[in-house]
Structure 1
Amino acid sequence: MKISTAPCNWNNGDIPDFRPYTPYAQMMDEMVEAGYTATEWGPGMPDDPAVVRDETAKRGLEMVGAFVRLGYRDRDKWDEADAAALAVAERVKAAGGSILVAAELGDERRDAEAGHVDEANGLSDEQWRNLADGLSHLADLLEPMGMRVVLHNHVGTYVETAAETRRFLDETDPAKVGWCLDVGHLKYGGGDAMDFLPTYGDRVEHVHLKDVDPEVLRKAKAEQWSFGDALRGIIFPELGDGLVDIKGVVSWLQEHDYNGWVVLEQDTTHRAPKDAARINREYVQSIL
């Protein structure tokens, strides 16, 4: 497996007011100082892929992919989703990446219910078909570019809970749509990666590795926090300090010859972002 970092460790697009954004040059320098040789595209990076490619190359950083939220659940929104997806895919491809990490679009209600959703208010059967068909359609658009789409199970979206994540995996075509397993979001949404891997491990084509603070999660559920509230409360601690069986996940991936990217993410932290990123890398490498 290959280890990467991500700009969200420095600049979080979900709560941009959490701390002042770190300028991209400083952020990339700190990625290298924290021991990384690869990154996803993300908040705070320049819009021009040529600039991103030059800036990463001179620091020895490889570009992995980029995240985007897409609204394929409604058939009449496919053109809008295509435009958003292709804009990001073309930019990240030009910067050297090959993976489009897609999340279901979600909405304000789902964001407010993050971690304590009412599944009765989830997608209809028609919307599930639209989502699955839309992702396969996107895969066909990306294939000539040499890009691959992976769906990210994500709190605040309609692929959040264990049941919703299973339905996504069961409804989509494995030949076209991969799974970005985010172990932290899955735990936050009530699932567990170690329950999924024996059955769905072959669907994993990309991994976001983060942990979940049990006390923050308890408060988030009890007090009905939104996703933004939980991020401000530092729901994702340093790896190894929370509920997720990080060692178990990494060991399973190793034992099953996973050769994709493992992106070490911590959306918010009380520490300096560089220090948290270094701690997380050292923790994973101690397992490896």
Structure 2
Amino acid sequence: MNVSIGCSGITWRKRGLGDGLADIASAGYYGSPISGVESRDAAEIHRLWTSHGLAPAPGYINGEYWDPAQRDDQLHAARINAKVSRELDLTDIFIAVGGFETVTRAGRTRRQAAANAGQLDMLTDEQFRRMTQTITEVCEVFVEEGVRPCFHTHVGTFVETEEEVERLLEAVDPELLFVGPDTGHLAWAGIDVNNFVRRHARRITSVHLKDIDLEVRERGRAEGWAYAEFEKAAIWTEVGDGDIDFPGIFRILDDEGYSGWLTVETDVTQQPTPFESARISREYLAGLGL
């Protein structure tokens, strides 16, 4: 595949951006996702990333798109992100839905319902309609700038389950909303990752590579854990150390002629340092010829 291998700075949340970029470069990655676009312009991001020998990789935006009171702010954020992405020659951005701390009709937050969401934890039909309308408008902002918004699933949000994901993708024009699968969040939500990638392969423009321990997932679902409890029990692993079938996923993408970013993300590592986590994942991918 003609791909660029990136690594997210999320593992370095407690250490700072500079340390993260330096470690990511040292671990052998080509780039890292942009961040902080509200406070940094494209020129500053370019200088900072290239000073570490890294290319800027697609960034990430999310919002509570079902809330009409936030629509104008969400469109404003989209315009800022679209402008910066375009100026950095990035053709993609990940877009996700929020809702972590929103109390559902079931009387709990979606973060508390992680991997166990039922009908009463989901948006109402009217809220879902408003969400798809605003996401459509946000996508139009990006597409007008030549940036493809690719939808990123996330456990603990209002688009987590297979039902929610497929409903959204069906509701929004595929020429406006592309797909940016997160392999770990798909698996954590109980979605067959290989089947999902196969089903949407022609719509996929960028990918987040996460790995998980499915035994932790099943134990947590059975015991009704909240999001943080899954993380404390080490649901996240380095890429190649968990249960995701990456060779199978890459074969599907390769068969469809995929070219774009493959970005490693390990939200919480059990390794001694974030650098060690990044090194393990990069060596695994190198062993697959990437």
- Could you tell me the TM-score, scaled by structure 2's length? 0.88
Residue equivalent to 1:169 = 169
Q: 1: CA distance between counterparts of 2:262 and 2:73?
A: 30
Residue equivalent to 1:77 = 70
Q: 2: CA distance between counterparts of 1:51 and 1:152?
A: 26
Q: Counterpart of 1:48 in structure 2: which amino acid? A: R
Residue equivalent to 2:5 = 3
Deviations 1:95-135 (A, max 9, x none): 55443211111132001111111134312222332222222
Residue 279 (structure 1) aligned with residue 280 (structure 2): yes
Structure 2: tracts of 5 or more residues without a match = 102-108
SS at match of 1:48: coil
Q: Counterpart of 1:151 in structure 2: which amino acid? A: F
Q: 2: CA distance between counterparts of 1:286 and 1:27?
A: 23
Q: 2: CA distance between counterparts of 1:260 and 1:171?
A: 25
1:56-75 paired onto structure 2 within 5 Å:
56-75=49-68
Deviations 1:231-264 (A, max 9, x none): 2332110122222212211121122211021111
Q: 2: CA distance between counterparts of 1:203 and 1:98?
A: 14
SS at match of 2:59: strand
Pick one of 19, 22, 28 that aligns with 2:15: 22
Pick one of 38, 42, 48 that aligns with 2:40: 48
Question: Where does structure 1 differ by over 6 angstroms across 4 or more consecutive aligned residues?
Answer: none
1:182-201 paired onto structure 2 within 5 Å:
182-201=182-201
Residue 151 of structure 1: how far off its partner (Å) = 1.4
1:89-100 paired onto structure 2 within 5 Å:
89-94=82-87, 97-100=90-93
Give the CA RMSD over aligned residues. Answer: 2.1
Q: Counterpart of 1:133 in structure 2: which amino acid? A: Q
SS at match of 1:85: helix
Residue 7 of structure 1: how far off its partner (Å) = 0.8
Deviations 1:77-108 (A, max 9, x none): 31132233334444455555443211111132
Q: Counterpart of 1:30 in structure 2: which amino acid? A: D
Residue equivalent to 2:112 = 112
Percent identity between the aligned chains?
28
Residue 216 (structure 1) aligned with residue 179 (structure 2): no
Q: How many residues align?
A: 278
Q: Counterpart of 1:82 in structure 2: which amino acid? A: L
